[in-house]
């Protein structure tokens, strides 16, 4: 089943989570991505501090943060934490470096970090450092 467009409530709820997550795990880049072979869009949060050895701890922090401030627009099962070296994180960081702007960047369909995607939304770097 195809998912509808990303709505501002989802964007804002995720931005709040990213800001809190950044205090423990410095965020390199964060983005929503709908892979062509997936039914849902996922929020990816990438940090250079995340390694294979502490991935479980990062996920536990996400679960704790989402439970602390629940939102109907943020599902913990649609959040993926990844290393800053992940190809998807690198692709998002490349987009930010190519098109620096204080605003988010939307991406259309095509190849992204080795995946075929339908759409995406990359948060500007200021989201993680912004004061809520």
Domain span including residue 61: 8-127
Give the CATH number of the domain where residue 110 resides.
3.30.300
Phi, psi torsion values for 12, nearest 5 degrees:
-70, -40
- 26 domain residue, yes or no: yes
What are the start-end ranges of the H helices in the chain? 8-22, 55-68, 87-98, 126-129
Number of independent structural domains in the chain: 1
The confidence band for 101, taking pLDDT boundaries of 50, 70 and 90, is confident
- 3 domain residue, yes or no: no
Closest CA to 93 of 48, 50, 35, 29: 29
- 70 domain residue, yes or no: yes
| CA 19 – CA 5 distance, rounded (Å) | 23
- 132 domain residue, yes or no: no
Of 99 and 33, the one with more pLDDT: 33
Query: pTM score > 0.75 for this model?
Result: yes
- 71 domain residue, yes or no: yes
Q: pLDDT at residue 129 above 90?
A: no
């Amino acid at each position: 089943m195809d998912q509808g467009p990303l709505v501002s409530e989802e964007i804002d709820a995720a931005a709040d989570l990213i800001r809190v997550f950044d205090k423990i795990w410095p965020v390199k880049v964060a983005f929503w991505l709908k892979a062509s072979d997936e039914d849902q869009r996922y929020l990816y949060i990438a940090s250079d501090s995340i390694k294979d050895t502490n991935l479980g701890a990062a996920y536990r922090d996400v679960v704790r943060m989402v439970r602390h401030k629940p939102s109907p627009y943020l599902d913990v099962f649609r959040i993926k934490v990844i290393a800053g070296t992940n190809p998807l994180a690198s692709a998002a960081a490349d987009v930010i470096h190519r098109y620096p702007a204080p605003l988010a960047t939307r991406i259309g369909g095509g190849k992204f970090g080795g995946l075929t995607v339908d759409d995406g939304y990359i948060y500007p770097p200021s989201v993680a450092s912004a004061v809520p």
